[in-house]
Amino acid sequence: MIEIIELSKYYGTKQVLSNINMTFLEGNVYGIVGENGAGKTTLFRCIAGLEYYEGKINARLSPLKNHLGLLLTEPYLFSKITGKEYIQLLCNAREIKIGDIDLKNIFELPLNQYASTYSTGMKKKLAITAILLQENTYFILDEPFNGVDIQSNIIITEIIHKLRELNKIVIISSHIFSTLSDTCDEIHLLKNGVFIKTVKKEEFTQLETEMKEMTVGNKIEKLELK
Amino acid sequence: MTNRRLKEFGFEPVFGYLLILASFTGLSFFLFYKTEFAQYIYMLISLALTSKLSGTGRNDFLKLCFSDRHYKLVRNIENLTSAIPFLIFLIYKQFFIGSIILTVISLILGLSSFKTNLNVTIPTPFYKKPFEFTVGFRNTFLIFPITYILTIIAVFVDNFNLGIFSFLLVFVVALSFYTKPENEYFVWSFALTPKQFIIEKIKTALFFISILSLPIILTLCVLYYENIDALIAFYLLGCLFLITIILAKYAAYPYEMNLPEVIIIAISISFPPLLLVLTPYFYLKATKKLQHYLA
């Protein structure tokens, strides 16, 4: 379980997250949606302990960060490190012995090449592989489907299902609604640093319609496309 | 961007530029004083720096931003600006032909773009514990055969000091592996306490520096057995500097080491006992800084 109690975050005088209360349970996949700048990444960084914040974050396994696989929107890679070495580094960080990495290379990445030469999607797949091999209990995946080819998106979706089966906690953000509806048990809508709505699986279609109406409105008509 | 970098390093830009100018002039005089091949080395250094501007990525960007005519103009101005300090010194030294050749090649380079990074994976013996030595070795791999060749030369000309010089060169290069802070993700990922993290980093560094310097140590041990005490002293001192630089890096983390820290470390080169004070000071500061990222 991960429990967030009255979490607030300020950058200078600007409040980015406001009094967030939330509980994430094992064996569930949670989607966080919101416009750019809504506070999703800041929330993830707070949960990971990368940001100072007000409030409390408790987890069954403590310290939370040592059991958390964090996928950043744009994974950072060193200029002269191979894919294999990147995985080795992240597994060393958690003292995990991985054996033959090539056997676990499910995305068929060129692991002996410098990871900095990878495409955006390949970098993301490498980072996903690494956090999976870290044997984490909690996962935060910040836009895991962005820039990834359709075949790999199918694999990532299946991985998320498997993580749920293994009783892990998975928190995902995505700008592609269908990826969330395929994987999540609950979706939370974040707006200006506040959770304004929580939706269960059976109400996802309704949420999508509401979001469309709220986001698009009559904006397309304003373009007067001809 | 240069101004920002200088400010991050703790310099007022104007002093930074003056220091760069003074260092450049001093090193130029030193080079021309030391060797008769100075003009060729000088031209090569200039062209190596200028060629960095021919990277495919930045040139593709410039081509997108400017028309064909303006792009060529911008590239020529860039390359000439990069070569000007070298040209002025060559003219001052009356190497007129050299300065003309340098100008022409710099302008030709302005019309070309190529990959400035070698993307062939260089094998290293450090793959089990990335990343400092893995990345650092790949960035400086040509230096190590040179140090080993210098050691062989030292043996042939029976010059123990030259052997020690090549040995110390390996340490100096290894120190450079620890000057830049890594992205916070690669500290945060470790399931270690700050103390354990630092010990792990130091253990890895000492093991790998020993591997890198082993050919030199063994050669000098066998052939200059009578000087083994000096060799051990230099090895221990080198290790102490390596430990200090690791601690100093994390003492400044997540930022780069700033000027006062660099100056103190530089002073300790001429007065090594200072390290006995510096090491615990940096250690305490580093554990405090790492507390935010590690449990």
Measured between CB atoms, does A112 come within 8 Å of chain B? yes
Q: Does B190 contact A at CB distance below 8 Å? A: yes
Asked if B128 and A95 come within 8 Å (Cβ–Cβ), the reply is no
Q: Which of residues 149-188 of B touch A (CB under 8 A)?
A: 182-186, 188
Confidence (pTM): 0.81
Provide mean pLDDT across the span A133-146. 94
Contact assignment for B128 to A113 by CB distance below 8 Å: no
Interface with B, mutate which of A45, A67, A78 (most B CBs under 10 A): A78
Taking contacts as CB-CB distances below 8 angstroms, the residues of chain A near B183 are 76
For residue B284, what pLDDT is reported?
Answer: 96
Higher pLDDT, A23 or B115: A23
Highest mean pLDDT (candidates A28-32, A35-39, B124-128, B255-259): A28-32
The yes-or-no verdict on residue A211 having pLDDT over 80 is no
Taking CB atoms and an 8 Å limit, are B119 and A79 in contact across chains?
Answer: no
Q: For chain B, say whether A92 makes contact (Cβ under 8 Å).
A: yes
Per-residue confidence band for B10, with pLDDT thresholds at 50, 70 and 90: low
pLDDT at residue B119 is higher than 80: no
Computed over every residue of chain A, the mean pLDDT equals 91
User: Which residue in the set B119, B131, B189 is minimally distant from A85, CB to CB?
Assistant: B131
Per-residue pLDDT of A158-205, as tens digits, reads 999 999 999 999 999 988 888 888 899 999 999 888 988 888 988 888
CA nearest to A89 within chain B: B130
Cross-strand bridge partners of residue A2: A24, A59
Question: What is the per-residue pLDDT for A197?
Answer: 87
User: Percent of chain B at pLDDT above 90?
Assistant: 41
Assess B119–A contact: CB distance below 8 Å, yes or no.
yes
CB proximity B121 to A under 8 Å: yes
For position B118, what pLDDT does the model report?
61
> Residue A197: which H helix or E strand, with range?
strand A194-200
- pLDDT band, very low/low/confident/very high, at A123 (cuts 50, 70, 90): very high
Nearest chain A alpha carbon to B191:
A66
A 11-50 near B (Cβ less than 8 A): 48-50
Chain A residue nearest residue B185, CA to CA: A76
Looking at the partner chain, which of A70, A85, A117 has a beta carbon nearest the beta carbon of B127?
A85
Q: In this model, does residue B117 exceed pLDDT 80?
A: no
Check B127 against A112: CB less than 8 A apart. Answer: no
With H, G, I as helix, E, B as strand and everything else as coil, classify residue A30: strand
Distance from CA of B130 to the nearest CA of A (A): 6
Note the pLDDT tens digit of each residue in A96-119.
Answer: 998 889 999 999 999 999 999 999
pLDDT of residue B177: 94
Contact flag B185-A63 (C-beta cutoff 8 Å): no
What Rg, from alpha-carbon coordinates, does chain A have?
A: 18
Instruction: Check CB contact of A81 with chain B, cutoff 8 Å.
Output: yes
- Residue B121 to chain A, least CA–CA distance (Å): 6
Q: What is the mean pLDDT of chain B?
A: 88
What is the rounded radius of gyration, in angstroms, for the C-alpha atoms of chain B? 22
**Is the Cβ of A88 closer than 8 Å to some Cβ of chain B?**
yes
HEC secondary structure over chain B: CHHHHHHHCCCCHHHHHHHHHHHHHHHHHHHHHHCCCHHHHHHHHHHHHHHHHHEHHHHHHHHHHCCHHHHHHHHHHHHHHHHHHHHHHHHHCCCHHHHHHHHHHHHHHCCCCECCCCCCCCCCCCCCCCCHHHHHHHHCCCHHHHHHHHHHHHHHCCCHHHHHHHHHHHHHHHHHCCCCCCCCHHHHCCCCCHHHHHHHHHHHHHHHHHHHHHHHHHHHHHHCHHHHHHHHHHHHHHHHHHHHHHHHHHHHCCCCCCHHHHHHHHHHHHCHHHHHHHHHHHHHHHHHHHCCCCC
**Domain boundaries in chain B?**
1-34, 38-119, 121-295
pLDDT tens-digit map of B14-31? 887 888 888 888 888 887
Of the candidates B119, B189, B293, which has its C-beta nearest A117's C-beta?
A: B119
CA distance A113 to chain B (A): 6
Q: For residue B59, what pLDDT is reported?
A: 85
Interchain pair B127, A88: CB under 8 A: yes
pLDDT single digits (tens) B93-108: 889 998 999 999 988 8
β-sheet bridge partners, residue A5:
A56
A chain contacts of residue B293, beta-carbon cutoff 8 Å: 49-50
User: Quick check: B130 and A49 CB within 8 A?
Assistant: no
Q: Do B185 and A82 touch (CB under 8 A)?
A: no
- Tally C-beta pairs within 8 A across A and B: 68
Which of B118, B124, B185 should we substitute to test contact with A (largest number of A Cβ atoms within 10 Å)? B185
Chain A interface includes B270 (CB < 8 A): no
Find residues 126-155 of chain B whose CB sits inside 8 Å of chain A.
127-131, 134-135, 138-139
Task: Check if B117 contacts A (Cβ < 8 Å).
Answer: yes
